[in-house]
Amino acid sequence: MCSISPMGQLKVSRRFPGVKELAGLMRFRKPILNGRKRRLSRALTIYDLRDIAKRRTPKAPFDYTDGGADTESSLTRARQTFENIEFQPRILRDVSIVDTSVTMLGKTMAMPIGIAPTGFTRMMQTEGEYAGATAARDAGIPYTLSTMGTRSIEDVAKIAPDGRNWFQLYMWKDRDRSMALVERAKAAGFDTLVLTVDVPVAGARLRDVRNGMTIPPSLTSKTILNAIPRPAWWMNFLTTDPLKFASLDSWKGTVAELLDSMFDPTVTFEDLNWIRGQWDGNLVVKGIQNVEDAVLAQKAGADAITLSNHGGRQLDRAPVPYLLIPEVRKAVGEKFEIHVDTGIMHGADVVAAIAAGANFTWIGRAYLYGLMAGGKEGVDRSLEILRTQMVRTMKLLGARSLAELNPSHIKQITR
């Protein structure tokens, strides 16, 4: 009740609430006893997962995932570009139901997001490739095993036989050994080969140099001190089977030394034509960074290309893949598939890429943060976060399906 005093002031009458009233206002969350589930439930964004991952993972493997080349401007600019997108929503549309599915290289995927190839994955968290492959299978999206993966082609096929498994190939100086991997992938039922073409030499990943990053991680006084607050990671690392690679038995040097010793800097479009003749499944060329090379890859027989600057891990100040989409789309036509990666940390980034003209997107760090935060459940959480963000963004844009997204939904602003 309120009243007006003789002085014209508003007076509010007060009372003491009853016990039943207080009880009705009080709500207590049911405690989550499982530590992994508890910390993952608190993660609402990919950046939340990154924070958890940083607390739980030693500096060297975390920085290997998190970092880029040189000044890391390629990665910074890619992320800033997504931040600088202004959406143009349409209103008064029935968006009670939103369809995120997409047909990609002949098969329907639950959403336009795939798990990109990442090297040395079990260093981030012991479940490694198994977590990525099974999470992708459960989410109805593709998983790509890297040449530098830490589980074999056959092991991944066995753990996720009903998943859509792809294999990523780096061409080595030893061509016969490279193509032996391709034959193994074919025999294991992998339906797509991803040829990465932007690594003639390792990028200058300065965090790895400063951390003394080796494969496997070396035990030094520095790493031991860094390990003290992260006992779970080291317990998993020391008590599970030693790291094994999809493509080689072992390596004792740094990551950069490994890449420079193996990868072939003489690979040309003639080699791409030759690989096309060796592989009868889908062929995706990953690492395209200009319109001319996109057209050449299409002419060489690629079924799709991935616009990528390797997550900002190779050439510093490289083109931002997202910004290439409109020009490349115009050059290759509407029917040719364009995929894109680098800098995707939110479902809205995926929506923007599709609206710009891409057919599909790929994530690396975004799922690895989830892996480091909580193994397979963490990868599940990262994919669920992105899916939820996608659906919400599409509803707010007035788009009921990916096919309704188009360039009129986006505008690039400058700051």
> If we measure between CA atoms, which residue out of 356, 365, 367 comes closest to residue 323?
356
Report the 10 Å Cβ neighbour count for 91.
7
Does residue 99 form part of some domain?
A: yes
Contact 33, 198 (CB under 8 A): no
59 within domain boundaries:
yes
Q: Torsions phi, psi of 362, nearest 5? A: -135, 145
DSSP H or E run through 370: helix 365-397
The answer as to whether 28 is a domain residue is no
As for how many domains the chain has, the answer is: 1
CA 365 to the chain's CA centroid: 5
What residues form DSSP beta bridges with 343?
none
Residue 137 lies in a domain: yes
Asked if residue 33 is part of any domain, the answer here is no
DSSP conformational letter for 240? S
Bridge partner residues of 166 (DSSP): 144, 192
User: Residue 121: phi, psi to the nearest 5?
Assistant: -65, -30
Q: Residue 29 carries which DSSP code? A: P
Count Cβ atoms within 10 A of the Cβ of residue 21 and give its class: 0-12 exposed, 13-18 middle, 19 or more buried: exposed
CA distance 228 to 176: 44
C-beta separation of 303 from 284 below 8 A: yes
Domain containing 83 equals 38-412
How many angstroms separate the CA atoms of 379 and 334, rounded? Answer: 33
Contacts of 141 (CB under 8 A, 6+ apart): 109, 110, 111, 113, 114, 115, 164, 383
Q: Which regions of the chain are under pLDDT 50?
A: none
Residue 358 lies in a domain: yes
Give domain status of residue 9, yes or no. Answer: no
Q: Which residues are part of the catalytic machinery? A: 310
DSSP annotation of 16: P
SS3 395: helix
With left for phi above 0 and alpha for psi between -120 and 50, is residue 114 left, alpha or beta? beta
H helix or E strand, kind and range, residue 287: strand 282-288
Give every CB contact of residue 352 below 8 A, 6+ residues apart in sequence: 82, 85, 87, 322, 410
Residue pair 198/289 in contact by the 8 Å Cβ criterion: yes
Amino acid identity of residue 6, one-letter, is P
Beta pairing, strands 2-4 & 107-109: unpaired
Q: Where are the beta strands (DSSP E) in 102-163?
A: 102-104, 107-109, 113-115, 142-145
Amino acid identity, residue 330? K
Phi/psi for 89 (5° steps) reads: -70, 150
Nearest residue to 168 via CA among 270, 109, 253, 246: 246
Residue 4 forms part of a structural domain: no
pLDDT tens, residue by residue, 40-68: 989 999 999 999 999 999 998 999 999 99
| Mean pLDDT rounded to a whole number for the chain | 90
What is the C-alpha to C-alpha distance for residues 367 and 139, in angstroms, rounded to an integer? 13
33 three-state secondary structure: coil
Q: What is the token pair recorded at 127?
A: 């479940």
Q: Which of 292, 369, 362, 278 is nearest to 52 (CA)?
A: 369
Which structure tokens are listed for 183?
């034959």
**pLDDT in the model for residue 185:** 96
CATH of the domain at 374: 3.20.20.70
